[in-house]
Chain A
Amino acid sequence: MLGALLAFGPHVAADEALALIRARLDAQPRLRADFEQIKRLADLERPVVANGRLLVWREAGVLWQIEQPVKMQIALREDVTIQVDASGRRKTQQATSDAAAARLGRVLAALLHGDTAGLEQWFEIAARVEARGWTIALTPRRGPMAAFLKSMYVSGDKYVQAVSIEEVNGDSTSITFRNHRDAAALSSEEAGLLGVP
Chain B
Amino acid sequence: MMARHVSALWAGVSVALAAAAVLLLARYAPVQTDLLALLPPTERSAAAERAVAAMRDAAGNRAVFLIGDAQAPSARRAAARFAAELRRSGAFASVQFEVPDIDPQRLTAPHREFRFGLLTDADRAALVDGSFEPEQWLLRRLNDPFRTPLGGGVAQDPFGFFGNFIASLPYRQLRLDLEDGLLVARADAKGARGIHVLVSAELAGSAYDDRVQRSSLAAVAAAEAAVRAVAPQAEVLRAGAVFFAEAARASAERDVELIGAGSLIGIVLLMLGVFRSVRPLALGLLTVVTGLAAAVSATVLVHGELHLLTLVFGASLIGEAIDYSIQYFSAYAGAGSQWDPRRGLAAVRPGLTLALATSALGYGALMLMPFPAVRQIALFALAGLVAAYLSVILLLPYLLRRAYGRDIAPIAVPTARLIEWWSARIGPKPAAAIVAAVVALCVPGWLALHADDDVRALSSRPAALLEQEARIRSLTGVELATRFFVVEAGTPEAVLQAEERLAARLRPLVDKGELAHYQAVSSFVPSAARQEENRLLLRKSLQLDGNGLAQAFQQVGLRSTAAGDLAAAYRESEGRILTPQAWAASPAAAPYRHLWLGSTADGHASVVVPAGAAANNALEALAAGIPGVTFVDKAASVSRLFGQYRAGLSYGLGVALLLVLGVLAWRYGLRGGAAVLLPAVLGMAAALALAGYGGSAVTLFNVMALLLVLGVGVNYSIFLIEGRARAGTTGIAVALSAATTMLSFGLLAFSGTPALAGFGATLLAGIVIAVLGAPLSLSLAPRSLRQCPAASSTP
CA distance A45 to B555 in the complex (A): 11
Q: Is B136 an interface residue (CB 8 A)?
A: yes
Q: Is B466 an interface residue (CB 8 A)?
A: no
Chain A residues with CB under 8 Å of B145's CB are: 37, 64, 105, 108, 165, 173, 175
Q: Tell me which of B101, B136, B193 contacts A70 (CB under 8 A).
A: B136
Q: Is A98 an interface residue (CB 8 A)?
A: yes
Chain B residues with CB under 8 Å of A118's CB are: 189-191
Residues of B91-121 whose CB lies within 8 A of A: 101-105
- Counting chain B CB atoms within 10 Å of each CB, the highest count among A41, A165, A167 belongs to A41
Closest CB in chain A relative to B287 CB, distance in Å: 65
B149 contacts A45, C-beta separation under 8 Å? no
A98 contacts B179, C-beta separation under 8 Å? no
Sampled A-B contacts (8; CB under 8 Å): A74-B146, A81-B146, A86-B136, A97-B173, A105-B145, A144-B102, A147-B102, A167-B149
Q: State whether A85 and B191 are in contact (beta carbons under 8 Å apart), knowing that A74-B146, A97-B172, A104-B148 are contacts in the complex.
A: no
A48 contacts B144, C-beta separation under 8 Å? no
CA distance A96 to B175 in the complex (A): 8
Chain B residues with CB under 8 Å of A81's CB are: 146
B142 contacts A121, C-beta separation under 8 Å? no
Q: Tell me which of A39, A100, A105 contacts B142 (CB under 8 A).
A: A39
B172 contacts A104, C-beta separation under 8 Å? no
Q: State whether A48 and B557 are in contact (beta carbons under 8 Å apart), knowing that A87-B131, A91-B122, A99-B167 are contacts in the complex.
A: yes
Q: Is B438 an interface residue (CB 8 A)?
A: no
Residues of B557-604 whose CB lies within 8 A of A: 557-560, 562
Q: Is the interface of A mostly helix, strand, loop or mixed?
A: mixed
Interface residues as binary, B421-445 with A (CB distance below 8 Å gives 1, 0 otherwise): 0000000000000000000000000
Nearest B residue to A149, CB-CB:
B148
B139 contacts A69, C-beta separation under 8 Å? yes
Q: Is A95 an interface residue (CB 8 A)?
A: yes
CA distance A165 to B148 in the complex (A): 12
Interface residues as binary, A102-113 with B (CB distance below 8 Å gives 1, 0 otherwise): 101100101000
Q: When A and B form their complex, which 7 residue pairs have the shortest distance between CB atoms, in order from nearest?
A: A105-B146, A70-B139, A43-B155, A50-B143, A118-B190, A97-B172, A46-B557
A39 contacts B104, C-beta separation under 8 Å? no
Q: Is A72 an interface residue (CB 8 A)?
A: yes
CA distance A39 to B244 in the complex (A): 55
Chain B residues with CB under 8 Å of A121's CB are: 72, 177, 179, 184, 186, 193, 195
Chain B residues with CB under 8 Å of A122's CB are: 179
Interface residues as binary, B187-223 with A (CB distance below 8 Å gives 1, 0 otherwise): 0011101010000000000000000000000000000
Q: State whether A102 and B150 are in contact (beta carbons under 8 Å apart), knowing that A48-B142, A69-B139, A72-B143 are contacts in the complex.
A: yes
Q: Is B154 an interface residue (CB 8 A)?
A: yes
A148 contacts B186, C-beta separation under 8 Å? no
B140 contacts A99, C-beta separation under 8 Å? no
Chain B residues with CB under 8 Å of A86's CB are: 136
Closest CB in chain A relative to B275 CB, distance in Å: 72
Nearest A residue to B173, CB-CB:
A97
Q: State whether A143 and B122 are in contact (beta carbons under 8 Å apart), knowing that A45-B558, A48-B556 are contacts in the complex.
A: no
Q: Tell me which of B131, B154, B178 contacts A144 (CB under 8 A).
A: B178
B153 contacts A141, C-beta separation under 8 Å? no
Chain B residues with CB under 8 Å of A44's CB are: 142, 154, 556-559
Q: Is B180 an interface residue (CB 8 A)?
A: yes
CA distance A144 to B105 in the complex (A): 10
B146 contacts A43, C-beta separation under 8 Å? no
Q: Is A117 an interface residue (CB 8 A)?
A: yes
Q: Is B171 an interface residue (CB 8 A)?
A: yes
CA distance A140 to B387 in the complex (A): 75
Nearest B residue to A119, CB-CB:
B190
CA distance A46 to B557 in the complex (A): 6
Closest CB in chain A relative to B683 CB, distance in Å: 57
Q: Is B490 an interface residue (CB 8 A)?
A: no
CA distance A124 to B191 in the complex (A): 15
Nearest B residue to A44, CB-CB:
B557
CA distance A171 to B149 in the complex (A): 10
CA distance A129 to B103 in the complex (A): 35
Closest CB in chain B relative to A91 CB, distance in Å: 7
Interface residues as binary, B16-54 with A (CB distance below 8 Å gives 1, 0 otherwise): 000000000000000000000000000000000000000
Chain B residues with CB under 8 Å of A169's CB are: 149, 153
Nearest B residue to A74, CB-CB:
B146
Interface residues as binary, B122-161 with A (CB distance below 8 Å gives 1, 0 otherwise): 1000000001000010011011111111100111000000
Q: Is A120 an interface residue (CB 8 A)?
A: yes
Q: State whether A99 and B172 are in contact (beta carbons under 8 Å apart), knowing that A121-B195, A143-B177 are contacts in the complex.
A: yes
Q: State whether A148 and B153 are in contact (beta carbons under 8 Å apart), knowing that A87-B131, A98-B172, A121-B179 are contacts in the complex.
A: no
CA distance A143 to B190 in the complex (A): 17
- Counting chain A CB atoms within 10 Å of each CB, the highest count among B102, B147, B148, B172 belongs to B148
CA distance A141 to B101 in the complex (A): 11
